[in-house]
Amino acid sequence: MSKKNRNGVVYSTDPDFQYQSDQQGEAETLSPAQQNLKIWVVKLGGNKVVTAIRGFIGTDADLADLGKQLKAACGAGGSTKDDEILIQGDHRDKVLAWLTGKGYKAKKAGG
């Protein structure tokens, strides 16, 4: 285990000490009908607007795959990080229509 993951452990004199991580494994990906996604429009610095999809429960690989499909559907760039999908531009209506068409439970959030 990497030393970077040992938060709070300074030193142990016990030769049989085994560090136990509090981190849980990745959650299994829920089916589209069980997902509760929220679609936000976020303004970044320099008057840039991105569409953020939050609330996805599942593995990072499935999140990246969903992000790739959404970016292709919107015809825009973006990224997937910190358990959210970011798509360049205001595409709330396209994203909502695409997600509900694929069986996801999604709704607009924010102002």
38: β partners? 54, 107
> Could you list the residue range(s) of the whole structural domain that residue 44 is in?
30-108
In a domain, 60, yes or no: yes
Closest to 37 (Cα-Cα) out of 66, 73, 69, 79: 66
**93 in a domain, yes or no?**
yes
pLDDT for 33 equals 87
The CATH number assigned to the domain holding 59 equals 3.30.780.10
pLDDT for the residue 1: 47
Evaluate whether residue 49 is within a structural domain.
Answer: yes
The total number of structural domains that make up the chain:
1
55 with 36: CB under 8 angstroms?
yes
Residue type, 44: L
In a domain, 16, yes or no: no
Residues of the chain where predicted confidence (pLDDT) is lower than 70: 1-10, 20-27, 111
pLDDT at 16: 83
Q: Residue 12: inside a domain, yes or no?
A: no
Q: Tell me, what's the pLDDT at 49? A: 94
Note whether residue 101 is domain-resident.
yes
For residue 9, what pLDDT is reported?
A: 62
Question: What pTM was estimated for this model as a whole?
Answer: 0.74
